[in-house]
Structure 1
Amino acid sequence: MRNIWRDRNGNFAIMTALLAVPLFGAAGVALDISQALVVKEDLQKAADATALAAIAKNSPYVIEARKMSGDGPIIAQGNVSMDFFNKASADHGDDFVVTNVALKVNKTGNEVESYVEYKATVNTTLSQLLNMEFFTVSGKATGKYVTERYTNFYLLLDNTPSMGVGATPRDVATLVANTRDQCAFACHDVSAGANSYYNLAKKLGVTTRIDVVSKATVALMDTAADMRLVPNQYRMAVYTFGEKAEDTKLLEVVPLTADLALAKSSASKIDLMSIPKQGYDNDQQTDFDRAMTQIGSKMGLQGDGNSAVTPEKVLFFVSDGVGDSYKPTICTKRTTGGRCQEPIDTKLCSALKSQGYRIAVLYTTYLPLPTDGWYNQWISPFQSEISGRMQDCASPGLFFEVSPTQGIADAMSALFKRVVTSPRLSG
């Protein structure tokens, strides 16, 4: 026996056997913790979705909140608490079990807040070597919806000469067929008088892009009037790029007002910018940089939207997305004589969004004009970038592109509704 105890042969195998269980157990814990974190991430997404669903505009909780005369917890028919969690469970199979979900909705003033808490047990694999059969994960999400959110809309409407293009392919074809130089633009050339393409378009019954935008803006005022729940909930200001090319500037067509009927009447008079003669100022009338900078100074400090005194400020931008201005050094595309033709420079949009403003963008698709030599040389090379730049300018979820055959009025109304009915996660 004395010799056996002294014998050290095979000690590595013995030590390995003794350490195998804790080593595999430790590795298993690391793997199982990683799996638990994946599950928690998916459950957190489910909790966020549940919190938002509970305070969606037409949810039973928000409907009940509008009926309440005072503050307090909301009791409503309907249960959204498990829908998203059940989907998460289905995606993971038997990896975990949701043991508890609690949803509470409270109303305070004009705010409806949702609170979601969850707990789940995540099954383990190798961790069971250490007698750990499951891990517990938990989390919470909160959402906030203002039943009467007060919002000031600042509409920036592109009325520069490029918006004189025919509104549909048929309108474009009509202009091309009836102009000596096959021009698709109804240029408001004052020097041509009654013979201007602007007047020709009117005579031929051609609808231009600015005509459609003007009518859509008028219809938007009706949408806002129909949707407001309390007086002064929505106020509108309307701006264009100027009445005439000799005085391009941010032109206030409608000063900020809650009188939507007045705004509607004034918006109906929006027209294409006039030019004194063909080629005036090298056609540099679409200065997005200046317009974005100037309208930012008009909006003032951002508010929380909880009252008429602290309204949320939203920029509502409608354009075909192509700038044309004098930018000899900072143009994102090649220039000619300092003239810069480019998609919108999104740095200006980012500067506004950094101040808390939301930007809703309605992009009226810039039509390819293959019969136009100017288009082929200067715009066609970046045609594919225009839509993406306009989308990058918009705040998340607030971008619409409208082709010539679609309804600009319907798109503008839908975009407005998206702005005013979006609940948000608050924590």
Structure 2
Amino acid sequence: MPTFNRFLTDRSGNFGLMTALLMVPLLGSAGMAVDFAHALSLRTQLYAAADAAAVGTLSDKSTTAAAVKMTGDGVISVGQDNARSIFVAQMQGELTASNVTTAVAVAKTGNKVTSSVSFSAAVPTTFMQVFGQKSVQISGTATATVQTASFMDFYILIDNTPSMGVGATPADVATMVDLTKNKSSNASCAFACHESGSNKGKDYYALAKKNKVTMRIDVVRQATQALTASAKADTDNQFRMAIYTFGAKAEAAGLSEIVPLTSDLDKVGSKVTEKTPNPQVGDSEYVLDLMTIPQQGYNDDTQTSFDSALTQLNTKIPAGGSGTSTADTQKIIFFVSDGVGDSYKASTCTKKTTGSRCQEPIDVSFCKAAKDRGIKIAVLYTTYLPLPTNDWYNTWIKPFQSEIPTKMQTCASPGLYFEVTPTQGITEAMQALFLKVVRMPRLTG
């Protein structure tokens, strides 16, 4: 009995005994951490693969093209195949398609395409097998959403009134001033006014052409043609375009249709650069060109009625739609102008008048009438050039020069305003504004 009691009360060797007893759980815990860390590392790799697959399939043109062609909502099979292929291509090392379960869904709802890539896998353990745990389950889901470009109708309104005959750059302006300088009065003109009457000697348009002066209307025409080409490259028959001006001649000033609404963007591009013979300038001139006037001062120079052009265009355009189908297209007025109106407007002009002649920044109430019908307005403001050597400019335009861009921006729908100065590229500006329209966030039903 004493021997047994001594055994019970003897404390020597307890540390070694306890260590032996705890060794298994300690090693198991450390091993569990290693196994879990390994599983989390593989899960991170799988998430990266799923992200790449979800985003990649929406970037693939075959997926977006299939979505655009769908007349309703539903699954996009080619998108699912693309996503699965991208996901499998990311597998490397111990991760292979054979030991990872995937579920892919790519579908269209309205004009929104959503892709979802889910994965799950059983990662074999090493240390945790001590506790009978042979694997660790990992899983996750990556999703991505993109809006397909809506079906849109662009009604491009080009200001071709005499003020767009100003030189396209400061150098062109200086050249025109020098070419038109009157030696006796020292007066000059920066505008290449296009006279069609008998007084052909003062057709400054012909003078500008002869001396290879580039006018603002020339640059806008080139930019419009380039826009149709870039729009065609960015669409799967989702866009239609129409081109309008303020009229070919002052005697019949008013909204003039150059190209009716069409999905044939090649036709639009070729039409705006089409030429017709004009013996007066000894050359051909463009269908989209500067408005002609019978003579200087014709009709008190009131050839720029934004009010009339926007009102007439508004009546031609159906109410704006959601853009989800060809039967419900979004409507966009794409307005390119220097922003100064000049028309008969005796009682409602916002600035001082000369008799009934009204020179003012654009009256935004006529923009609001279109926007209230769900029509978006994208405005490219071609900066109105100050002409400090011109008495007319100093008297009538300079007092409200600072208001012009503000009014043009107010005319535009939110986020759809762009100003381009003479030293910047109008072609690039038109394309940048176009992309703003196409890619701006939209509510989907």
Same fold per superposition (TM over 0.5): yes
Alignment correspondent of 1:267: 272
Aligned to 1:386: 404
Deviation at 1:299, TM superposition (A): 1.0
Tell me the TM-score normalized by structure 2.
Answer: 0.66
Match of 1:368 among 386, 389, 392: 386
Q: Does 1:182 align with 2:182?
A: no
Aligned residues of 2:383 and 2:422 also touching (Cα < 8 A): yes
Q: CA deviation at 1:396?
A: 1.1
The alpha carbon displacement at 1:392 in A equals 0.7
Deviation, structure 1 residue 145: 5.4
What corresponds to 1:111 in structure 2?
Answer: 111
Residue matched to 1:244: 249
The number of residues matched between the two structures is 316
What amino acid maps onto 1:184 in structure 2?
Answer: A
Q: For 1:92-115, what per-residue CA distance to the aligned partner results, in whole angstroms no more than 9, with x for missing partners?
A: xxxxxxxxxxxxx97325622679
Residue 66 to residue 341, structure 1, CA distance change in 2 (3 Å): same
| 1:46-195 map, 5 Å | 60=56, 62-63=58-59, 66=64, 71=75, 107-108=107-108, 111-112=111-112, 146-179=147-180, 180=182, 181-191=187-197, 192-193=199-200, 195=202
Structure 1 range deviating more: 260-269 or 215-224: 260-269
CA distance in 2, matches of 1:286, 1:144: 45
> Taking CA–CA contacts closer than 8 Å with sequence separation of 6 or more, which of the two structures ends up with the larger relative contact order?
1
**Unaligned ranges ≥5, structure 2:** 1-53, 68-73, 87-104, 116-143, 274-286
Identity %: 54
Secondary structure in 1 matching 2:401: helix
2:301 corresponds in structure 1 to: 283
Please identify the structure whose Cα radius of gyration is greater: 2
Instruction: Give the ranges of 4+ consecutive aligned residues of structure 1 lying more than 6 Å apart after TM superposition.
Output: 72-78
Q: Which one of the candidate residues 323, 334, 341 is aligned to 1:323?
A: 341
Provide structure 1 residue ranges, at least 5 long, that are not aligned to the other structure: 1-57, 79-104, 116-142
Please give the root-mean-square deviation of Cα atoms over the aligned residues, in Å: 2.6
CA distance in 2, matches of 1:163, 1:357: 26
Question: 1:222: how far off?
Answer: 0.3
Asked if 1 retains the 8 angstrom alpha-carbon contact of 2:149 and 2:439, the reply is: no
The answer for the alignment partner of 1:220 in structure 2 is: 227
**Secondary structure in 1 matching 2:419:** strand
Show the counterpart of 1:202.
209
Matches within 5 A, 1:410-421: 410-421=428-439
**C-alpha separation in 2, matches of 1:218 and 1:390:** 23
Cα separation, 2, equivalents of 1:156 and 1:108: 34
1:221 aligned partner, one-letter code: T
Distance 2:359 2:145 in 1: 43
Distance 2:175 2:328 in 1: 49
Deviation at 1:68, TM superposition (A): 7.2
* CA positional deviation for 1:318: 0.2
Going from structure 1 to structure 2, the CA distance change for 1:367 and 1:68 (only over 3 Å counts) comes to: closer
Match of 2:22 in 1: none
Taking structure 1 as the reference length, what is the TM-score of the superposition? 0.69
Asked if the contact 1:236–1:257 (Cα under 8 Å) also holds between the matched residues in 2, the reply is yes
